[in-house]
Amino acid sequence: MDIRDEFQVVENLMLSSSDVLCALDASGHLRRVSAAGQRVLGYAPDELNGVPFSTILHPADCAQALAACAAARRQAAPVYFEGRYLTKAGQAAGLAWSAFRWPAIELLLCVGRTTGARPATLPVDASASNALLERIADGYIEVDKNWTITYFNVQAERVLQIDRQQCVGRNYWEAFPNAVNSRFYYYLHLAVDSGQPVHFEVLSTRTSRWLEVRALPVADGLSIFLSNITDRVTAAKHLEQLALVAQGTDNGVLITDAQGRIEWVNDGFTKHTGYTLADMLGRLPGTVLEGPDTDPEARATILAYQQQPEPFSVTILHYTKAGEKLWILLHVTPIYNQAGELTQFIYIQQNINTQKAMEAQQARLTQDLYEHNRDLQQFTYMLSHNLRAPLANALGLTRLLPQVGKHSAVFDTSLSHLRQSLEQVDSVLHDLNLVLSIRDQQHQQVPETVRLAKVCAQAMQHWAPALAQCEGHVTLDVAADLLVRGTRAYVYSIFDNLLSNALKYRVPERPLQIDIRCVEGAHGGASIYFAGLGSGFDQAKAGLKVFQLYQRFHGGQQGRGLGLFLVKTHVEAMGGTIEVNSQVGVGTRFLIHLNQH
């Protein structure tokens, strides 16, 4: 190698080496720092040119380092020392240094390695430049113009898994016949023919290793730097393959690092959730995708499974960017590198909204069937008692009538009773029709915005004469702006029936007192309190029958047992709930919740 080539080699090393490699001039100033060194130290390219070596050394280690450099200048053998480097940001880390004198170009080269990595054993007779070439982390090969291998360092032996004694002095393409006409062959020839450096990645078929290669043309041949990048390429290939599969599927795929931070998402993910890679990059999937109704147990399950090395699947509720619910069957696969370290998680999201919707529909169908069944039972009861009772009376009366004198009092009374009985039959048929029509309309009603205060006032107006007659007093506390989502006619019917009941079941001995209070509910919507001081009923005895059709809990009065059935039916048709609390002799209180407008 002539001097120009030696400069070239140093130059190549500065570009290719993965070490912190510094070239110092005679005055101890930095002439060049390797690209890797600049990155580690946090400086821009060329920013370090011309500054004293001490700039990048920890102040406490400076004296020792400079003494070692001075010693290296005086002798042929390398000098080893330990010293912490100092980054531009002021961070320090220990390095094991070796300093070599490179006589031909009057530079001192200092190679810094992370503490712990032992220096490679050096050939005893190595020249200074060779000593350096032996110490760099990369494989290094030199060939002359005839492709005869003139130099082969110890790292190249490792990377290519071959004894250099079999190579040095041989034609490169004879030593590595597999490489003939390969990518490797093409690029090296390109470098020689063009006189330009080349940089490429290649799969060595002989060793099954991926190599990163930099080749620089020099005066008498080619300098070739090699490093084994199999791990990186394999990981990248794996991801690429996965990404390819992921892009092809409709599933959402996201890849996180070992800490769970998102590195990549596929188009399917964006399609399902509305979030792009830019939205997700660096974030934890759960913090973005989970929402108020996500089961905390599912979340805990994922965290627990992530500590395990096996893949797992979890059903979880996610939310799209637009805030819509998205049921997901999540398959999570942890990815480990060859060293057995966790490097990534791959999440595959299967959209199971359709399945969940079907489950919900099935539950709704079951509920519908249950309700139909319950209604059928009530109709049977209705037909058995409430329709048949007046019919039986009418039948009995028609048998009685021929047996009594036409001009007797019994005849007249019986005839009047007959008419009443038939009227009862008629009203039961009306009720039946009403109940059936409510059921039918229930699913067709378009919800409207109902102003409670207004509807309540209308119902009050209807009952005002009756209230005045019994000296009833109503305390009304309804916020004027309270709106609910429902059907105006139903809300009217609720107030109407409750007022009717309060009047019907009042205690004659004391004035009627009704309290109506409508307030905004704790979770939106409205809460309606309706309290009537009246006779009340025995709640323990009435149980669940309170709201059933034709159930009556008071003797003597004219109730048909329809009012509370209608109230409950209407409340539920609007998606609300109703509770009742009654005490005999005290009165009855209703609590109704209606949905938010």
Partner 1 sequence: MLTYLIDDDFISLYLAEHVLRIEDFTTDILLFSTAETALSSLVENLAEQVPRVIFLDLNMPTMDGWGFLQALEPYVAALLGRCRIYILTSSLLPSDRARAQEYPLVSGMLHKPLDAAELPAIKALLQEAF
Binding stretches for partner 1 (CB under 8 A) = 380, 384-385, 388-393, 395-397, 399-400, 403-404, 410, 413-414, 417, 420-421, 538, 552-556, 559
Distance (Å, whole) CA 48 – CA 320: 49
What is the nearest approach in angstroms of partner 1 to the Cβ of residue 500? Answer: 17
- By beta-carbon proximity to partner 1, the closer residue of 344 and 414 is 414
Distance (Å, whole) CA 271 – CA 430: 54
Contact 275, 299 (CB under 8 A): no
- By beta-carbon proximity to partner 1, the closer residue of 190 and 404 is 404
Q: Detail the DSSP E strand segments found in 51-138.
A: 79-86, 92-102, 107-114
What is the nearest approach in angstroms of partner 1 to the Cβ of residue 421? Answer: 6
Element (H, E) at 350: strand 342-351
What is the nearest approach in angstroms of partner 1 to the Cβ of residue 460? Answer: 28
What is the nearest approach in angstroms of partner 1 to the Cβ of residue 252? Answer: 56
Torsion of CA 461, 467, 471, 474, to 10 degrees: -60
Residue type, 533: L
- By beta-carbon proximity to partner 1, the closer residue of 75 and 403 is 403
What is the nearest approach in angstroms of partner 1 to the Cβ of residue 410? Answer: 6
Please tell me what DSSP assigns to residue 178.
G
What is the nearest approach in angstroms of partner 1 to the Cβ of residue 388? Answer: 4
Residue 398, number of CB atoms within 10 A of its CB: 12
> What tokens were used for 187?
């690029």
Angle at 274 between CA 271 and CA 277, to 5 degrees: 90
What is the nearest approach in angstroms of partner 1 to the Cβ of residue 400? Answer: 6
What is the nearest approach in angstroms of partner 1 to the Cβ of residue 382? Answer: 11
252-257: strand order across its sheet: 262-265, 252-257, 342-351, 325-336, 312-319
Please tell me what DSSP assigns to residue 56.
G
- By beta-carbon proximity to partner 1, the closer residue of 251 and 424 is 424
**Closest alpha carbon to 311 in 330, 328, 297, 326:** 330
What is the nearest approach in angstroms of partner 1 to the Cβ of residue 397? Answer: 6
- By beta-carbon proximity to partner 1, the closer residue of 240 and 538 is 538
- By beta-carbon proximity to partner 1, the closer residue of 266 and 386 is 386
- By beta-carbon proximity to partner 1, the closer residue of 90 and 405 is 405
- By beta-carbon proximity to partner 1, the closer residue of 416 and 441 is 416
Chain centre to alpha carbon of residue 286:
4
Element (H, E) at 268: helix 267-273
Q: Are strands 473-478 and 513-520 parallel, antiparallel or unpaired?
A: parallel
**Closest alpha carbon to 83 in 117, 114, 37:** 114
**Closest alpha carbon to 153 in 234, 57, 87, 224:** 224
- By beta-carbon proximity to partner 1, the closer residue of 130 and 420 is 420
